[in-house]
Structure 1
Amino acid sequence: MFLVLSLITCCVYIIYLIFKKPKNLPPGPPIYALPLFGHLLHLGKHPQETLMKWCQQSKSDITHCYFGQQLVIVLNNYSLIKEAFMDDNYSARAQPFIFEEHFHGKGLTYADGERWLIHRKFAMDSLKKVGMGKLFLQDTILDELTDVFSVIDKEEGEPLNIKGLLTHGLSNIICGFAFGQRFSQDDKKFRHIVSLIEECFTLGSHDSWITIFPLLRFIPIRSLGGNYKQFSKNFKQIFSFAKQLVEQHNTDNDGEDKDYIDAFLKQAKNDQLSQKENSTFDMDQLISSITNLFIGGTETTSTTLRWALVYMIENAHILEKVQQEIDQYMLIHNNNQLYVRMEDKPFLPYTTATILEIQRCGNIATLGGSTMHRNLQNTTLNGYNIPKNSYIAANFYAVHVDERQFTQPYQFDPTRFLSDDHKSVRRPAAFIPFSIGKKSCPGESLANMELFLFFTNLVRAYNFHVVNKNEQINSAKFYHTSLTRAPYDFYVSFSKRLY
């Protein structure tokens, strides 16, 4: 009897879904959505690649699918992403449970509406005042790079997992903006927090089971509950760490703001004195905001630099050209200069193009993280109906391997970013590693500076190799997809170069 009732219920549910389905949606996958699960079971380990294949099969650059019962509209080319993300109607963030549970619509990443407008502008203004994007910031970055080099040198050529080392150094740069302090490589507590951030990027994703079915967190079966408990535990520790730093912060600063916390607390005090109603400058907003800054400004750049090592090991002839360009320029123009600096960038076109190609091929932005948007009203896109509160997923991977934009896209070739005479750098409009529109990455200028200074000085100072290269280095296979598309951990041996 129970089996019969179950079958009847399933049939009724399927019929309900068929009639409920909005009309004139973009083409769907070649696979039917399953009751409750949607297309989750068919996305595979790398959803962005699967979705690109579905679009190719339907001969459309826009498709729809279901994450559970959530309608997701996937955009697979540059023009569609630009049209959507430049439109305020698509400006809301997707609010999957796993992030809403921890940020509650506060902070800089998952806030919406007026709160987001106020705090995005405030963050950009206050961070610029304390140096983000300004040229003098490079001295701070190079100080962290010096510490990274000292750790590498202590290993004396022994294989090193550079992931934590890079993330620690890059985290310190953000800490200078947010907290006004840095942490030693020997600080065990800070190293632990950095490791939790790294783990969260592996654990979290928009298409994880717990995001689609929040009730699974109450079921004591790990395969169903997924990584929610560990993800939640990590976030609580990261929030606690940020809160302690705020509480320990010196609030007696009546002069110029030294960091983001100074600026925020001053604004909160002004709102209180003026008895401003509905002020959003409260402690929860501050903790969420600096946590967003802390997390967003560390792992992503670290992952890109690890991709840089992968592609340079795979393409030794390109690494050699980069090293030659840097060596020749520095020998002639800056022989006594310890580090390559931002002022040198215009004179290193091949090196700069190589960094852009690393970003294009690395494709660290996935369908997870903060890249998915939500539309506020019923609308149309490319002639199709887009119902209100659909998730809008920009498939940056599909854009960066689109043959219409990049010839031979699966080949690592820095010259695609060079002018015909190879003397200057050109960036195609479809190159969008930091997204596009009002909700593009606010730390793009900082990330670009970090990438240039870390990459150029790393390849200038060292040669590097991987002992088990065939097992650990394969850009086409040796990677995982979660909140970022990242290579698996690998160990690198560094040896000093003579230049």
Structure 2
Amino acid sequence: MYLVLISILSILYLIYLIIKKEKNLPPGPTDYSIPIFGHLFSLGKHPQETLLKWCQNRQSDIIHCYFGQKLVIVLNNYDLIKQAFLDDNYSARAQPFIFEEHFHGKGLTYADGERWLIHRKFAMNTLKKFGMGKHFLQDTILDELKDIFLSIDKQNEKPLNIKGLLTHGLSNIICGFAFGQRFSHNDQEFHHIVSLIEECFTLGSHDSWITIFPLLRFIPTQSLRGNYKQFSKNFKEIFKFAKKLVENHDENIDETKDYIDEYLKQANIDKKSNKLDSTFDMDQLITSITNLFIGGTETTSTTLRWAFVYMIENPQILKNVQQEIDSYMNNNKQHNLFIHMEDKEYLPYTLATIFEIQRCGNIATLGGSTMHRNLQATTLNGYNIPKDSYIAANFYACHVDERYFPNSDQFDPTRFLTDDHKPIQRPAGFIPFSIGKKSCPGESLANMELFLFFSNFIRQYDFHAVNKNEEINSKIFYHTSLTRAPFDYKLSFRKRF
């Protein structure tokens, strides 16, 4: 009886899908879509690579597929991504359940409409006021580097996993901007919060089962429920930590010194003017702070961990970077131990190497905040795009596109240099921070951190991996979740002078 009922329901569901099927969609993958599950079983461990293969098989830079029953339009070409992401119709964020449940459409990452416009502008202005181009932010970054170097020196060349030190230091930089305070490397509570952030980036993804089928969160079996319970627990603790710092902040401010001060100042202005539609409420503040805290920590940390992997794999390039830095510093900065931002223009090969690390590291995946959603039905490249489709920009495909990066499988910083060894403008296909209005608001800060961390690490230390040589292999030594990140590894550091 039950078998007959299930068969009838399945047939009716298939008929419904056939009737409902959208016309003139971009081509789909050669893999079959399974009823209810879509193409989830075919995505594999690294969806961005699978999607690129599907596009290549179809000889199309735009395809469609299904995450469960959610239609996903995949863009594997820079021109298509630019065309879509510069169009306000594609400006909405995809709202997968696991993020909507915690952010509730607030903050800087998953907000939409007027709220997003207001707080994006506020965040950018505040970043400029307290961060971008300011010497004190550079001093904050270098202070964190000094603490990290002290911790490394205490190891006396014993192997260590650099991940924790990097994440803690970068989190502290965000804390300085957001909260006006930093936390000691011995602060156990802060260390715990940082570890939760690290863990979240391995637990969550747009294509995870719980995101596609929210009811699975009620299933007691972890194999079906997935990482939802732990992911949710981590987020709640991170929010609680941010809320405590906000509540402990002094509201009686004469001069603003951080993001919270500036936010509370604007909230008071709205309150005094009886602005009934003000969005400067406490939930928005806590969610925005959490977005900054999470987004500004793990992504830069992951890029720097890729940096060590590529330098270990390419010792001649590492030697070239060290020679450029040593030559410049010895001739111009004899008494200055640290490289500063004003030195960047004199270190073109070093800067080109950072660009190539970003290109090859390809940390932005479909699991981060890269998926968009179109507000109205439209067409793109001659195909129909139904309203509220998920728009997935495959940045990985852009960064291995031979049209922009010949011999893209090779690690070659000179692709960013002219013949006279000066940096060129970044090729159009190079978009590590996305493009358009919803590109990463912290791009300038991240670039500042990457330059100061990378150049000073390379100047201060020689290093080698403790893992077996065959394990440190950038082609296979990584996993994909909210970011594309290398597996954990240990390094031994030795002072160069």
Show the counterpart of 2:170: 170
Query: Is it true that 1:32 corresponds to 2:46 in the alignment?
Result: no
Deviation string, structure 1 residues 251-283 (Cα, Å, up to 9, x no partner): 12122x100100111111111111111211111
Show the counterpart of 1:321: 320
Separation of aligned partners in 2, 1:384 and 1:126: 40
TM-score of the superposed pair, with normalisation by structure 1: 0.98
Alignment of 1:320-469 (within 5 A): 320-469=319-468
**Local SS of the residue matching 1:393:** strand
Deviation string, structure 1 residues 144-178 (Cα, Å, up to 9, x no partner): 00000000000111110010100000001100111
Show the counterpart of 1:87: 87
Compute the displacement of 1:7 (Å).
1.8
Asked if the contact 2:367/2:483 (under 8 Å) is kept, the reply is yes
**Local SS of the residue matching 2:64:** strand
Show the counterpart of 1:214: 214
Runs ≥4 residues deviating over 6 A = none
Segment of structure 1 superposing worse, 375-384 or 120-129: 120-129
Compute the displacement of 1:8 (Å).
2.2
Show the counterpart of 1:100: 100
C-alpha RMSD over aligned residues: 0.9
Asked if the contact 1:353/1:418 (under 8 Å) is kept, the reply is yes
Query: Is it true that 1:202 corresponds to 2:202 in the alignment?
Result: yes
Show the counterpart of 2:302: 303
Asked if the contact 2:131/2:445 (under 8 Å) is kept, the reply is no
Separation of aligned partners in 2, 1:424 and 1:393: 31
Gaps of 5+ in 1: none
The residue identity in structure 2 corresponding to 1:119 is H
Separation of aligned partners in 2, 1:134 and 1:264: 20
Segment of structure 1 superposing worse, 132-141 or 335-344: 132-141
Show the counterpart of 2:263: 264
Percent identity of the aligned residues? 77
Compute the displacement of 1:429 (Å).
1.2
Asked if the contact 1:70/1:391 (under 8 Å) is kept, the reply is yes
The residue identity in structure 2 corresponding to 1:21 is K
Show the counterpart of 1:493: 492
Change in Cα spacing, 1:296 to 1:133, as seen in structure 2 (3 Å) is farther
Separation of aligned partners in 2, 1:46 and 1:154: 38
Separation of aligned partners in 2, 1:161 and 1:61: 39
Deviation string, structure 1 residues 110-141 (Cα, Å, up to 9, x no partner): 00000000000011112221123434421110
Show the counterpart of 2:50: 50
Asked if the contact 1:135/1:342 (under 8 Å) is kept, the reply is no
The residue identity in structure 1 corresponding to 2:257 is K
Show the counterpart of 1:289: 288
Compute the displacement of 1:471 (Å).
4.7
Asked if the contact 1:141/1:450 (under 8 Å) is kept, the reply is yes
Separation of aligned partners in 1, 2:352 and 2:423: 9
Compute the displacement of 1:218 (Å).
0.3
Deviation string, structure 1 residues 297-330 (Cα, Å, up to 9, x no partner): 0000000000000000000110000000100111
Change in Cα spacing, 1:32 to 1:133, as seen in structure 2 (3 Å) is farther
Asked if the contact 1:177/1:260 (under 8 Å) is kept, the reply is yes
Separation of aligned partners in 2, 1:122 and 1:347: 34
Change in Cα spacing, 1:472 to 1:191, as seen in structure 2 (3 Å) is farther
Separation of aligned partners in 2, 1:61 and 1:424: 29
Segment of structure 1 superposing worse, 467-476 or 287-296: 467-476
Separation of aligned partners in 2, 1:333 and 1:58: 55
TM-score of the superposed pair, with normalisation by structure 2: 0.99
Alignment of 1:132-281 (within 5 A): 132-255=132-255, 257-281=256-280
Alignment of 1:101-120 (within 5 A): 101-120=101-120
Separation of aligned partners in 1, 2:190 and 2:464: 29
The residue identity in structure 1 corresponding to 2:203 is L
Asked if the contact 1:73/1:392 (under 8 Å) is kept, the reply is yes
Deviation string, structure 1 residues 386-426 (Cα, Å, up to 9, x no partner): 00000000000000001111000010000000012213333
Segment of structure 1 superposing worse, 420-429 or 199-208: 420-429
**Local SS of the residue matching 1:430:** coil
Separation of aligned partners in 2, 1:331 and 1:88: 50
Deviation string, structure 1 residues 348-385 (Cα, Å, up to 9, x no partner): 11111000000000000001111100000000000000
**Local SS of the residue matching 1:486:** strand
Size of the aligned set, in residue pairs, is 497
Separation of aligned partners in 2, 1:94 and 1:468: 39
**Local SS of the residue matching 1:464:** strand
Gaps of 5+ in 2: none
Segment of structure 1 superposing worse, 443-452 or 12-21: 12-21
Asked if the contact 2:299/2:363 (under 8 Å) is kept, the reply is yes
